[in-house]
Amino acid sequence: MRVYVFSVFFFLLSFLCLADDAKGDHEVEVVGDKNYSNSTLVYDGIDVSNYQKDINWDATVKDSNIKYVYIKATEGASHKQHRYRRNVEHARQRGIKVGSYHFMTTTAPIQAQFENFISVVRPEEQDLVPLLDVEKKGNWSNKQLQDSVMKFAKLLEDYYGCKPMIYASSNYFNNYLGEPFKNYPLFIARYSQNEPQLSYGAKWILWQFSDRGRIEGIDALVDLSRFNKGCGVKDIAYHYNSKPETPARRSHGDVPRPKRDRSEQPAVPPRPQQNNGGGNASSDNAPKSEAQRRGEENERRRQRLEEENRKKEEERRKKEEEKRKKEEEKRRKEEEKRKREEQKRQQELERKQQELERKQQEQERKRQEQERKRQEQERKRQEEMSRRRSNEQAQERMREQKEREAENNLAAQQRREQQRREELEQTRRERIDNERRAEASVPSTPSAPRNPNPRKPVANQSSADNEEVHYDNTHRRNRGSNK
């Protein structure tokens, strides 16, 4: 009974510990990153894009380590992330600080990329300063790259009222961006256990130390980042309501105008009152006082300055209009050039495709021709083999027929020889019988001389005996040759 009670108590205690852990920090998993282990991992935020697919923010918000999230909004001059709006709304509803970033390319105009970004990213929906992701250099020189990034950063600063944060790897920043951006807030990527080291005295705020994070609620791998010592969300917070001129007053498609020159104008004293009704008032011909002359001089100077400022403003507006028209014309030409190049590339692709299809058809035709030839050769070979087999079978039949005929002839010859031998044997017996009968009837006489050489026939021996012996030897030789 004590064991049972102790087991129940231990089970309840384990359950309470697990529940307490579930309320605490949510552990992240690092997949395939040899620089970090899951037990020693420290991180403060993540960044996501369409690559992470549909995120379960209810599960992700359980991770108390995530203090912020940067969400990809746009790329280049036309690409917009279709999951951006959903990610922003769901993350902010669950109390996560949200920022947005643009992936800058080297193949599209900076102005077009800026307009693409502000058409998607609404200032009132941002908790963090905008982020400019700079990873490519293309065919640009260092000066062209720095000027382009600086132009983009200035446009973002004018529009959102704050300096944007620049994202780049440590090597990319040291080799290409460098000193012009050392005072910007920096988000540096370096997948290592060692902190990034920047040149020109630049200091980073965020460090992306791994791209192999596995977080609950997100199916794909996630980039993990942490703040520098002494830094926090306050250093990258975006204060929308504190700006004197809010971007909400502008339409998202407008391009921010340059700031006006608000130089102080000289003070102008009020004009002296003129009383034409007589009395103590001075007439038009009366000499003017020093104050009146100073006031008129100031008025003329003010009017002159206003006229100069008006002219300068008109000239500036004209220059801006001309510049805008030139940029539009340049953009239009670039667009036409891009369309022509795209059309040309498409035509080239179609031509190559047609050429490839023609080659494939030619190869198929050759293959079919080779197959037809092979089948024809196979048919001829089979016919030749059939004809050869037929000839061989005919020859075999003829040979068998000849052998049968030879055997039949041999058998007939043997039968004839056997019959002849029998006839000779019969004749010899009859001759012997006749001789015996003759000897018996004839009176006794001296016996005939004996043949000393049995191989030579006796003189009075019949030729039939010699023929018989000669026949036997010849027949034996003939049989040996037939075999």
Provide the pLDDT for residue 257.
40
Q: Output the pLDDT for position 332.
A: 86
Q: Which of 25-34, 52-61, 269-278 has the lowest mean pLDDT?
A: 269-278
In a domain, 197, yes or no: yes
Predicted local confidence at residue 154, as pLDDT: 96
Q: What is the pLDDT of residue 276?
A: 41
Asked whether the predicted pLDDT for residue 294 surpasses 80, the reply is: no
Residue 127: DSSP 8-state: S
Name the least confident of 64-73, 154-163, 313-322.
Answer: 313-322
- 65 located within any domain: yes
**Helix-strand-coil split of the chain, %, nearest 5:** 55, 10, 35
pLDDT bracket for residue 265 (50, 70, 90): very low
Contacts of 170 (CB under 8 A, 6+ apart): 188, 189, 190, 196, 197, 198
What is the arithmetic mean of pLDDT over 232-257?
Answer: 60
Mean pLDDT estimate for the chain: 80
What does the chain come to in residues?
483
Residue % of the chain over a pLDDT of 90: 46
**Which range marks the domain in which residue 175 is found?**
30-249
Quick one: tokens of 188?
């540096």
Residue 199: its pLDDT value, please? 92
Angle at 144 between CA 138 and CA 145, to 5 degrees: 60
Within a domain: residue 279?
Answer: no
In this structure, of 51-55, 203-207, 285-289, the range with the lowest mean pLDDT score is 285-289
Q: Cβ atoms within 10 A of the Cβ of 472, count?
A: 12
131 domain residue, yes or no: yes
Assess if residue 117 is contained within a domain.
yes
Q: Which residue has the higher pLDDT, 242 or 227?
A: 227
Residues 298-326: tens digit of each pLDDT = 778 778 877 887 888 888 888 888 888 88
pLDDT in tens, 333-356: 888 888 888 888 888 888 888 989
119: pLDDT confidence band, cut at 50, 70 and 90?
Answer: very high
pLDDT per residue over 352-399, tens digit each? 889 899 999 999 999 999 999 999 999 999 999 998 889 999 998 898
Token pair for residue 11? 């089970």
Per-residue pLDDT, 274 = 41
Residue 129 belongs to a domain: yes
In this structure, what token pair is assigned to residue 326?
Answer: 């030139």
| CATH at 88 | 3.20.20.80
Query: Residue 240: what pLDDT?
Result: 81
Is residue 76 included in any domain, yes or no? yes
Give the pLDDT of residue 196.
Answer: 94
Q: How many domains does the chain have?
A: 1
In this prediction the pTM is 0.48
Distance, in Å, from the CA atom of 299 to the CA atom of 202, rounded to the nearest integer, reads 51
Cα separation, 437 vs 8, in Å, equals 143
pLDDT band at residue 280 under the 50/70/90 scheme: very low
* Residue 269: inside a domain: no
Question: Residue 11 pLDDT > 70, yes or no?
Answer: no
